[in-house]
Amino acid sequence: QVQLEESGGGLVQAGGSLRLSCTASGRTLRRYAMAWFRQAPGKERKFVAAINWSGGNTDYTNSVKGRFTISRDNAKNTLYLQMNSLKPEDTAVYYCAASPGLGATTMEDLYDYWGQGTQVTVSS
């Protein structure tokens, strides 16, 4: 079992930055691909960014490319999402997830473990 806990969410003005963290316990993250998803009010949860087990391969949804950076520190069992140039449409609950597959994937169904989420609100 892998337990995931997100932190770093909050309220920020448009154009600002936030850094989300996801700390894992129970098992080492070295054996898992990781990802961030988000769910805006009244909408389905959607893929944001993914990273493979080593951190050498990443993938992003088009709307965050060039603004968000996903990274990981396997020694600290932690996943990060650096979010810059935030927009009101980035407002959502952000979830981290772990997949036992080693490659980065956008497919939500392949992620077995999920955190409880952290709220990000971007004001205009």
CA–chain centroid gap for 28, Å, is 17
What is the spatial distance between Cα 37 and Cα 117, in angstroms, rounded to a whole number?
A: 9
Locate 47 and state its tokens.
């893929």
> For 108-123, what is each residue's pLDDT tens digit?
999 999 999 999 999 9
The two beta strands, 118-123 and 92-99, are: antiparallel
Average pLDDT, the chain: 95
Strands 78-83 and 68-73: antiparallel
Is residue 90 within 8 Å of residue 122, measured between CB atoms? yes
Is the pLDDT at 24 greater than 90, yes or no? yes
> For residue 31, is pLDDT > 90?
no
